[in-house]
Structure 1
Amino acid sequence: MFAEKCLQGVKKCYQYSDGGPHFRNQQLVYALLRKDKPLIPNIEFVINFCEPYHGKGVVDSLFGKYEIELEKNLDEDGINLIVDLKDQLRHLTFVDSIKSKSNSNGHEVI
């Protein structure tokens, strides 16, 4: 994934998880956080867990908003390429930051 042109130059990757059992793979977490033998060289991973299944965290809210807006605004062909998804999410983030009149609501989608 990090070899893709759109992700070249990424130095840090933030992973957010609700901590559900299907996300608590100790081997994956260990592999991503190892400094002596990195799974993906030159990428620093920051792994964040929050309370499972409550659906009220910042990440749940953000992805819920994405889901609602994508369902309302997609044409009948939907999204077929990851680049198209990235563009749609960037647009939604931009519109949200304008609506809220806060630059803090805008963030990069990679």
Structure 2
Amino acid sequence: MAASKGERMSDVVDVSAEQVRVRAALERQLQALESLVDRFEEALMGIPHAAHSEIWRGEAHRLYVAAVESLGRDLASADMLIRSAVSHTRRAVSVMADRVG
């Protein structure tokens, strides 16, 4: 049995309302991700220049430098992934904005 015009209109309203909810969720996600980008930038700037440290000597210095360099690489990788998520989320928000307005 074919759906009535009223039922089809209700389906359109339901889909539109869901798209509005999705867009709002994506916008919240984008704000959270952008906040993380700022926090990672601060963390990356806060990494000490381990090679020039005089805190440690010998093997302890070598291990300290290796640990700080590893931390820097890990933070930089995470930063890159978060920036990618920001880019993808912006694109998704844009697509939803085109659909919903």
Which structure dedicates a bigger proportion of its chain to helix? 2
Instruction: Bin the TM-score by the shorter chain.
Output: under 0.3
Greater RCO, CA 8 A, separation 6+? 2
Higher CA-based Rg: 2
TM-score, normalized by length of structure 1? 0.23
